[in-house]
Structure formats: C-alpha cells, structure tokens
Structure 1
Amino acid sequence: MKTLIIFYENLFPIDRGNKSLIVHFIEYLKNNKVNFTLVCIGSDKKPSDQLKLFIDDLIYIQNPLEIKVNKIINKLICFFALTKLDQHQWLQFLVRRKLRKEWTRYDHFILNYVSFYRTIPKKRKKDTLLFTHDIEFFRDLSFSGKKDNFSCNIRLMNREMELFKKFKKVILLAEYERKLLAEKGYFYKNLIVSGIPQKLTQNRFDLEEEIDFLFVGGNALQNIEALNLFIKEVYTHFSGFKFIILGKVCEQFSFDKEKYPNIKLKGFVEDIKEYYHKAKIIVGTIRSGSGVKVKILEGMSYSKVILSNSKGLEGIEATHLLDVINIDLFRDTNNLIEIISNSLNDKIFRKEMGSNASKLIKNNHSPRKCFEEIINNIK
C-alpha cells in the first residue's frame, strides 16, 4: 500500500502549527516504515536543501500562481466563489493536472486543508484522508465576534460539512471539535481525532531563566490582538520584567516603546530552543481563532509555566493552577497578579507546574497516541 501526501505551502522553515504537525506526522510514517510520497507545492523554483534532506521520496511543484497570468485567472475565480472553500480553483486545477499520472499509482491520499479539496479527483476522494487543522466555519465565526449567530457563515458551515462527507476520513485535532460538529448536525462516522504530538524536551534548569515572559507567534491578526490585550490587561502590572516576542508577528506588531522599554521584538529565529529554556512563563492568551494552539503545547513540552486563557486552551485537557494558568478563571485581578508574581519569583513553583505540564504532554500528545488510528487507515 502506498500513500501520497499533498501539502500546499513551503514546509520549511517551520513557523506555523500546521507545518509542525505535518513534519511530526511524516517523521512518524518514516519511523513506522509506511510507504509514502510527499507532494509539496511551494513558492520557490526548487525545493530547499532542508526539504530534500528531510524526505527522499518527494514531488516538488512550484506554485503555479507564481506565473502572473495564472495568478490573475485565480483571482477572478476567487472573486466569484460562493464561499472561501471554493476559491483557488484554478490553482488546484493546475496542480491536479501536474499530478495526473499519480492518481492511479497510489492506494491512499492525504490532503492538507479542506479548501484544497478540488485537488483530489472525485473518484479518489473516497480514498483520501483530510487534515483539517482548523475547521473554517468555526474560525470564521470566531473572527466575526458573534458567539452563536451563524447567519454570517451558515453557507460556509453547510458547504464545509458537505465536503467532509466526501472523504474517507476527516482528521480533527481535538475532541471538542467533534462535539461542536455534532451540535451543528454532523453525525457521519468518518471523523478521527488525532491531537497534536509534541516531543518532550528536558528543561535546562542549569541555565539562567533570564526571560520573564515569552510569546511565540506567526504573522496573524489573532496574535497581534493577543499581544495588545495581554500588554493592556496583564503586562501593564509587570512592565519592569523582560518580555521577549519571537516569530513573524514582529513584522506587524507595534507598541509604546517608551512606556514598555522591556519588551523586545526578536522576529523569526532559526533555533527557538534556547529561548524556551531561558523563559519563566510562556504567554498564549489568544482571544480569537480556532483549533489547538501548537505554541502552547510546545511550551508545555519544555516543562514551562503556561499563561493562557480559555480560548488559547481549547482542545488541551489542562487543569487550571495544576498544569497551566488560565487568566479567565480569576475573578479578582489581585489574585491573578499574585499567581503570576509567584511564577516569576518562585523557581520551585515553576518547576512543579512545568513538571505537571510535561506529564500531560507525555500522556496525551505522544506521536503514537495521535497518529496510530491514521496509520491504521492507510496500511
């Protein structure tokens, strides 16, 4: 049995959660001797050396939209699309045509994102597993700011659930997503809840924890929103402490440097490990968006204190004040300030909570627990 995995985007550098998930998944396939080929649709003319070293059996396609005429045609089609899931049809047609010889060579297919569903020929969708990463209508609703009013995206919701039914399996990242789908009337038994695996990293307690707060995030609106709210609601009480921000979010994020001189924007870094080891608290107070927040799981895997909220912890079975700190569960701001102060000043407190966080990762987010059911569907 042979599987073709189709990934739209440059896989490296790993600066977003969906890339991290696919890299973990491919590594697990390799370790379990699964026969597969990776198709990567990237913006570069040739695959990066890192990608070529990562995988032997690779089909690399330069994104056809790098050609101007294709980009124009695709934009016109996007303009008339009924939902965001029906955009980029021209791009998918071009990729599907480039892969026309491959559709009969493989037994199974794995597709990254439902919005690229047209890449897979109709007759092969029943042999395809779909990685969702985010459920689009959940995400759309979150950004709309309306809690339970689906009038703005009812068409998107119906379209997405209709598309899910066409695939052999739909891979969700958390049990709460399955429950929400059931609430909206999706009872098909083709759902798999995989979770997001993390590799445990032993905390370097011998290193000086010189970073008080650490935030890691890509260039996305929800990350900018999260930073603005965190600084306004929480960090304003701790402005004398060092706050480091990593990732492409630094390209768009701005703040009052005179008022907050201890906030430092570092941008994208090749090796994030040192920053995690030297951080006391990982910040993940996300207010919008959907799906499981990989950077929170990543911080937990380093045995770090996680300062988050209910939205940021969606899909993560963590207990407040045992595994993580959830700022939404404090009725009194003074209590929140006290707990954060303890986290900053008490190394034993940090070590105990960090140890609980890493145990949660070990028990709930091992590669085997996350991917075993998927493997069983392609062997």
Structure 2
Amino acid sequence: MNEEIITALDLGSSKIFGITGIRRETGIEIIGEETIYPTEEVIKKGRIIDMEGVTNYVYEVFGSLKSQTGERIERVILGIGGGFIKGRVYSKEIDIEPKGRAIENTDLQNLKREIKKIALSQVDSDQEILHILPQQYKIDGANTTQKDPVGLHGNKIEGKLHVLLSEKNPLKDIINCIKNAGAEVEAVYPHSWAVSESVLTEEEKKLGCLVIDFGKGTTDIALYIDNKLVISDSYRVGGGNIDLDLSIELHTSLNFAEELKKNYGWCNYKNLIKGRQPFLNQKVEIITLSGKIKQQTTVEKISKVVYERVKEIFQDIILKDVKQEPLFSTIGAGIIISGGSSKLKGLLQLSNEIFNQPTRLGIPKKMLGIEEYFRKPEFACGIGLLLLTPKREKKLPWWLKIKEKIENWFY
C-alpha cells in the first residue's frame, strides 16, 4: 500500500488492544483491529510485571493486524496510564531584552526552558518530560492573552505551559516490550488525552469538561477549561479494586467477584436505599473460593461494596484533585466517563451527585471501516490514539510534526 498506515496500541490491565488505519483525505479508515484478554496477569496498575508475557501478547496482536492489513507493523502510537504520569500548568515571566523589541521564537524557547527547570525541580530525578503544551501568553501583564506572540512588542512576556511528566522506568519497560515484539514506538500519549480526542466535541472542550477514563487497573483524567488542558493525571485505582473488595467481603474468586459487580452492583446504592427499591433484597447465589460451597448474599450488599469504592475513587481522589483548579466549578459541559469500568450500573447518577455536574458516557466517534463492536467506551483510548496522530511528511522528522500537532490541538 502507498497510503500512510498508522497503528495504535493500548496496553491495559485487562486487555491489549491494537488498531490500524489508513490516512485518507476524508479522514482515517480503520482496516484492522485486534483485542487480546490475557489469561494471566502481565500488566498490573498500568505497569509491566511480566516482560515476556506482554511481549508475546503484543507480538500476537501485531501478527493479527498484519494478517488483516497485509502490512508488517513497524511502528506504533502508544497510550499509557498507570499512575506514573502527571500533567500540570506552570507559569513563568521573563524580560525582553532590549525592552520594547519584537518578541522572537528564541524568547519562547527561553520561556519554555525556564518552565522545564521549574517542573523538573519539583519532582524526583526519576521523572522525565514527555510533552510541553503552550497554553497562553501575556505581554506586559495585559489581561488579554496571545496564542502566538511572535512579532508583538513588549518589555516582559509571561507564559503558561502544560507540562506532562512520566516516571522513566515504567515507560522504558513498556517501550522495550514493544521493541521486543518487533516495532518501534513512534509517539506516546496519556490515555486521557487519547480518550478525549475520541469522545469529546470541540464545543465541550471550549465550555470546559472533565474526562474520566475509568479502567480496570487505573483511572485517568483530563480537565479542560476554555479549550485548554489544565490537569492530566493517572491514578493506580480502578474497577479491579472493586473486584478485590467483593472477593474479600464475599470470600469468592476475583473473576466471580467481577461478574457480581457487573450484574448486581449499583453505584447509586444510596439513592436506591432511600427509594426502598425492593430488588435490593433480591438473593444472589455465590460460589466460595473452594468452588464447592454455595451461599447467598443480596443485591444490596454487593451494591454497598461497589458504591463505597467508586465513591472513594471519584470523590476522595478525583474531585479532591480537580478542585485544586479554581475554575473547575465553571465547567459547562460536565463530566464524560469512558473506559472499561464506565458501564457500571448507576455510575452516571453517582457522578452527577459527587461532582454536581451532568455526566454522560464517552462513546468513540464514528470512523470509516470501524466495526460497531469497537464503538464502546473500553476502546476509546485506542481509537483516540489514531485521531491524535499527525500526518507524516517527508520534509520534517516525525517528532517535529507530532510537536506541531499536539501544540495546536489544545487551542
């Protein structure tokens, strides 16, 4: 094929999802998808715990994509989470010398360099910067902000930049697994950025919204205010924590606990109790760890466990984090939840109450060639990675085009 082929890879705690597309003038056409659900634990909380196991699964995904597309997978766009990435906005003001001259690109580079120093000075030495996204610039303290201040005159310039940091070692492990499977990593994006590209409209970014990628092993967020990315974060908690809670409470296996969660767990348990819903008293038969002894519990007991853990994740972790941004209360497009754990019963209602914001489910956008099966929240990250990928051009190295694309994306 002469067309540009793009492959994205989403490595999750419960699944490995690969998707390949062709870039056409009208957009990206999907030509291959593969999902593998590991039979043993090889990734935990977004971190590699079995290098050989992950490599073998990734190799299997690449093999399937090659069979579907006729193309060998040589480079991929990678999505990461795992609680080892964090993005925040940093600001710095510098003098223009001599005063009153036109601002140049070198001034913006100096500003960027100073902000990099600030960001790295506040974290451990095992952190590295993955992306720096310009947010806004002010000249001489003016209230108005400039997207591109080059050519304007001033005495001082202040910049606000979103800096995304990652722990070095977990990322190295992931990249090495992909290399061992025969491909190079072309670019790395956080899960929350990819999900945002897949499920959000431009109007939602402009009005302000919070994206929550609620996975099995990790939960990732991206907060947008006035079309600018203000916070991006990843937490080492997810739907798998609910499974563990139920397993301990009911003395059953993790797999059976997960089924109980999906079939009988209601996140809006408190409201159901107030409404005296009779189905909460429904008896549910469970199998203990021995696999022989059967006992009974109720929908109410299962739902209470689910409710308590989801409330902790959404209220005590996410809400506490985003409330550090003073403008969070002004977001106009509410909460968008995606990811494999987003379809829990009553989750949207509980989110409404916790954040005091309307909440909707994040479904990936329609794309040419994509099967309806993959237009589900759990596949939003992989699809979004394709949408984030800039067009490759021979005139510039790929990394420069990625920089250009990602900087323009947030304006």
Please, what TM-score do these two structures have when normalized by structure 1? 0.32
Q: Higher helix fraction: Structure 1 or Structure 2?
A: 1
Q: Higher strand fraction: Structure 1 or Structure 2?
A: 2
- Structure showing greater Rg: 2
Please, what TM-score do these two structures have when normalized by structure 2? 0.30
